[in-house]
């Protein structure tokens, strides 16, 4: 966030306030939901690693290894190295949160194996989005400060747009992985019917963080376009 009107108040900043509040709420909700259901053991007693291994094998992905990753909520599937990484708590605990997160990451592995189109598109956009998110502001600020290079702001907005596009594509990828996770957990009997409500809360809270990120990106994009037109 920046204030392009010297030291005066920039009214376009107001566009970001709702998404900032949504982001803070989403982060708080995912942390509280994860912490709560991390302490609720499943009746079947399977750990996140055990659930992931069974589901991967069942999907014909016996060659996909499961590794422990550092940090909390660092769970992810790496499509480049075809490795599923689970945080220590998810890997070792037999809780509703652990099996839910593990199944969600397996959902991504299955998406990759099946050539799920939104995931393939996201992987294609990722290099451009990564460059765009880091380089966009350089071009935008130069374009604002130096009138002779005003066109650079358009370049920066396009680069930032690639990052926003990545966030938009991420939504169906994450929602689909969560839907797959619930189906896999139910079908294989890893959770009971009354435990599924907790699993949905964990997955829905995580999904909200992606919605918040997308909303923040779109709001910032609108703000940048308004600033450009005003300049």
Tell me the DSSP string of 150-166: THHHHHHHHHHHHHHHH
The catalytic position among 89, 105, 174, 195 is 105
Cα–Cα distances in Å, from 202 out to 40, 62, 97, 182?
12, 27, 6, 11
Dmax (CA) of the chain: 67
105 among known catalytic residues: yes
Q: Give me 80's structure tokens.
A: 């480049």
Of 149, 207, 210, nearest in space to 181 by CA: 207
Dist. CA 72–CA 209, nearest whole Å: 15
* Contact (Cβ atoms closer than 8 angstroms) between residue 107 and residue 181: yes
Dist. CA 181–CA 196, nearest whole Å: 11
Cα–Cα distances in Å, from 153 out to 39, 95, 99, 105?
49, 49, 46, 38
Residues 6 or more apart in contact with residue 74 via CB below 8 angstroms: 85, 87
Under DSSP, the state recorded for 221 is H
Q: Write out the catalytic residue numbers.
A: 105
């Amino acid at each position: 966030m920046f204030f392009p009107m010297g030291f005066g108040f920039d009214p376009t900043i107001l566009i970001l306030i709702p998404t900032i509040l949504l982001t803070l709420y989403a982060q708080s909700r995912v942390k509280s939901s994860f912490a709560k259901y991390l302490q609720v053991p499943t009746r079947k007693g399977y750990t996140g690693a055990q659930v992931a291994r069974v589901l991967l094998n069942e999907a014909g992905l016996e060659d996909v290894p499961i590794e422990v990753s550092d940090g909390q909520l660092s769970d992810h599937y790496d499509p480049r190295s075809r490795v599923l990484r689970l945080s220590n708590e998810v890997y070792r605990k037999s809780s509703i949160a652990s099996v839910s997160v593990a199944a969600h990451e397996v959902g991504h592995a299955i998406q990759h194996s099946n050539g799920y189109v939104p995931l393939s598109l996201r992987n294609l956009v990722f290099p451009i989005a990564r460059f765009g998110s880091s380089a966009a502001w350089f071009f935008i600020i130069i374009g604002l400060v130096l009138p002779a290079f005003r066109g650079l702001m358009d370049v920066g907005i396009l680069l930032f747009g690639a990052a926003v596009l990545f966030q938009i594509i991420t939504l169906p990828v994450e929602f689909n992985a969560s839907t797959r996770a619930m189906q896999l957990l139910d079908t294989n009997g890893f959770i009971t019917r009354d435990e599924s409500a907790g699993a949905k809360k964990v997955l829905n809270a995580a999904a909200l963080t992606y919605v918040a990120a997308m909303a923040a990106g779109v709001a910032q994009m609108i703000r940048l376009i308004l600033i450009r037109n005003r300049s």
